[in-house]
Amino acid sequence: SGYTGLICETMIDLCRTQPCDFGVCHSGLNSYTCDCTGTGYKGTTCSEDINECQNSTNPCGNVECYNHPGGFTCNCPAGYDGSPCVDIDECQPAPSGRCQHGATCTNLVGSHVCHCLSGFTGRDCEVNINECDPDPCLNNAICLDGVDTYKCLCALGYSGSKCETNIDECVGNQCQNGATCVDLVNGYRCDCVPGWTGDRCQTNINECDPDPCKIGKCEDRLNEFFCACPAGYTGELCQIDIDECLPRPCQNNATCTDQVNGYTCTCQPGWTGENCEVDIDDCQSNPCLHKGVCKDGINSFSCNCTDTGFEGATCEINIDDCAMDPCANGGTCQDRVKVRRRCQNVLEISNFGGELAQCGVGGPGYRYCGNGGRCLDQWNAFACQCRNGFEGEQCETNPDNCVGNACLNQATCLDGEGEFTCLCRPGFTGDRCQTPLDRCLTEDLCQNGGLCQDRGYDTACNCSSAPGFTGWYCNVTVSHRSPPICQNDGACTNKEGGFDCNCTLGYRGVTCDEPFCDTQCLTGSTCQIVGKKWFCLCPEYVEGWQGKNCSDDLDECNTQDVTQKNKCVAGQSVCSNTLGSYECDCLPGYMGTYCGTDI
């Protein structure tokens, strides 16, 4: 018995029915045994619970023992565990064990100590210290807690690690045309120089709107305007009708009437011409009769009736030459025109017969010299010695002495007897009007120290010697001043007929008003044109440069701006500034670019 199989070769396994409740079953020949070791049970089938707590020796030592089927449990104090109680090694697994966030653990009997990294606290360094309590951020910034640090999210217009710095929006100065930039919170204000407006003072104020000119065209200029007056007007607003009668152009007591851009002269009787400068030739109509010589006067004439045989205002009355009975020796007097008398002989006496003489007073061969000429008696002939200004056989011709016009400078020539007279235009004098007058001696109308200049046909006022005044006579106050010609700190150099501007780097044009990108931006920065200015966009947070030309080294080791702060780990390194960058010098026990690795 106890075997099975075809030939009874196999021992029967009595453990296959699992007769042991707990423990290990060992099958034998026709029997089995139950090994209850370590199960907390006893008996043939390990089904009887052993009460370990009733042993004379308390397996839990000095702590309370609790029996339960198959075993017991010790009520261990903190820092202990197991049955019986043994010290818990809270530092396993090494190096932190129960300590959190990279803390270093030191095991103690029944306890442990956690050495927290900066920024953590608590028994197991489980608490991240809130660096935002109390709030270090200023100016309504939002504080974001980090590990052993914090970050302030600044309100618009502020910067710095604690948002303590009001960002100067005037850096780069967006204000144009010489305006003053006033920094505000999250903005700026441009205080424009006179003549400019707009948020950046980019707009030239149109002083011609509304049009201040009374007459004429308004020309807008910088912080001023200019009224281009039509002919005949002057003044800052073209409000003054130029009195063309002021230089007294009308002559010979004529009356001047001012008009727009002109004048008219009302001449006294006897005068004519634009300025009443021409004496009317009252002899032009030949008022003297019977070859009487006319002499022109002022609004009058006189007739010289000498040797005409006539008399009267116009030589209209025939003189009776026989009235005095001039014929001797019984001669009969016959009155004639022009010939004083003729005697007809009664007796044929040689001394009285025929013509008395060629230059005599009677006879058919009577001759006479006109216009006051002297008769020279010759044999059966005569000759006339003419007065100056006459010619011809009997001095009957008065030549025109104005032929060839010996008068200069467009003067008017008046013919006379053997002479001529030149009527000069204003501004000239002399017997032939050859000498120009200095009109400024008699026609200086310049005011306020203006300099009179004779222009030959009139006078003009140079107001450069009368600061603050303008106008035809330097009598109009200048109300505006023009700004410097050269812009953007350009140097102005005066030259004959104009000026030159020596522009600063980055500007060009006649007045240095045109910005352009040249070589002004350094260290790999980018030049950008904004309005009428140029700016350099510095790679501040990469290359470590700042300033107008990006040529100033940014000291990352000392800046208070958290956005530009170096990345060297505090307490584990020393920051050293370099040109355009920085380096982290690690303290003993640390390594890495920013000394963040514990050796």
Extract the tokens encoding 14.
């009595």
Q: Is residue 551 part of a domain?
A: yes
Average of per-residue pLDDT across 209-222: 87
Q: Which domain holds residue 13?
A: 3-49
Q: Is residue 527 part of a domain?
A: yes
Q: Kindly state whether residues 575 and 506 are assigned to the same domain.
A: no
Q: What is the pLDDT of residues 116-126, one digit of tens each?
A: 998 899 989 99
Residues facing residue 4 across a β-bridge: 10
Q: What is the CATH number of the domain that holds 548?
A: 2.10.25.10
pLDDT confidence of residue 69: 85
pLDDT confidence of residue 344: 43
Q: Kindly state whether residues 599 and 524 are assigned to the same domain.
A: yes
Q: Kindly state whether residues 574 and 542 are assigned to the same domain.
A: yes
Q: Kindly state whether residues 586 and 522 are assigned to the same domain.
A: yes
Q: Residue 270: which of 296, 249, 298 has the closest Cα? A: 298
Q: Is residue 39 part of a domain?
A: yes
pLDDT confidence of residue 136: 93
pLDDT confidence of residue 363: 39
Query: Which contiguous run of DSSP H or E holds residue 540?
Result: helix 540-543
Cβ atoms of residues 329 and 347 within 8 Å: yes
Q: Is residue 211 part of a domain?
A: no
Q: What is the pLDDT of residues 256-287, one digit of tens each?
A: 998 888 889 999 998 999 899 888 888 988 99
pLDDT confidence of residue 134: 92
pLDDT confidence of residue 25: 93
Q: Kindly state whether residues 582 and 529 are assigned to the same domain.
A: yes
Q: Kindly state whether residues 543 and 571 are assigned to the same domain.
A: yes
Q: Kindly state whether residues 524 and 595 are assigned to the same domain.
A: yes
Q: Is residue 589 part of a domain?
A: yes
pLDDT confidence of residue 294: 92
Domain count, the chain: 3
pLDDT confidence of residue 364: 38
Q: Is residue 568 part of a domain?
A: yes
Average of per-residue pLDDT across 225-237: 86
Tell me the three state secondary structure of residue 296: strand
| % of the chain residues with pLDDT over 90 | 11
Q: Residue 424: which of 205, 217, 252, 179 has the closest Cα? A: 252
pLDDT confidence of residue 542: 43
User: Is pTM, for the whole model, over 0.75?
Assistant: no
The mean pLDDT value of the chain amounts to 79
pLDDT confidence of residue 26: 92
| Final residue before a domain boundary, out of 464, 493, 511 | 511
Least confident of 74-83, 235-244, 291-300, 519-528: 519-528
- Spatial separation of the C-alpha atoms in residues 423 and 279, rounded to whole Å: 8
pLDDT confidence of residue 455: 60
Higher pLDDT, 113 or 427: 113
pLDDT range class, residue 339, cuts 50, 70, 90: very low
pLDDT(312) > 60: yes
Q: Is the peptide bond before 364 cis (omega within 30 degrees of 0)?
A: no
Q: Kindly state whether residues 522 and 599 are assigned to the same domain.
A: yes
- Spatial separation of the C-alpha atoms in residues 457 and 428, rounded to whole Å: 9
Q: Is residue 15 part of a domain?
A: yes
- Spatial separation of the C-alpha atoms in residues 258 and 252, rounded to whole Å: 17
Q: Where are the beta strands (DSSP E) in 130-243?
A: 142-145, 150-153, 158-159, 165-166, 180-184, 187-191, 196-197, 203-204, 217-221, 224-228, 233-234, 240-241
The single-letter DSSP state of residue 590 is E
Q: Kindly state whether residues 495 and 566 are assigned to the same domain.
A: no
Q: Is residue 340 part of a domain?
A: no
pLDDT confidence of residue 359: 56
pLDDT confidence of residue 174: 80
Cβ atoms of residues 208 and 219 within 8 Å: yes
Q: Kindly state whether residues 592 and 531 are assigned to the same domain.
A: yes
Q: Kindly state whether residues 506 and 521 are assigned to the same domain.
A: no
pLDDT(497) > 60: no
Q: Residue 594, exposed/middle/buried by CB under 10 A (0-12, 13-18, 19+)?
A: middle
Cβ atoms of residues 472 and 461 within 8 Å: yes
Burial 68-103 (b: 16+ CB within 10 A, else e): eebbbebebeebbeebebeebbbbeeeebbbbbbeb
Average of per-residue pLDDT across 13-35: 89
pLDDT range class, residue 498, cuts 50, 70, 90: low
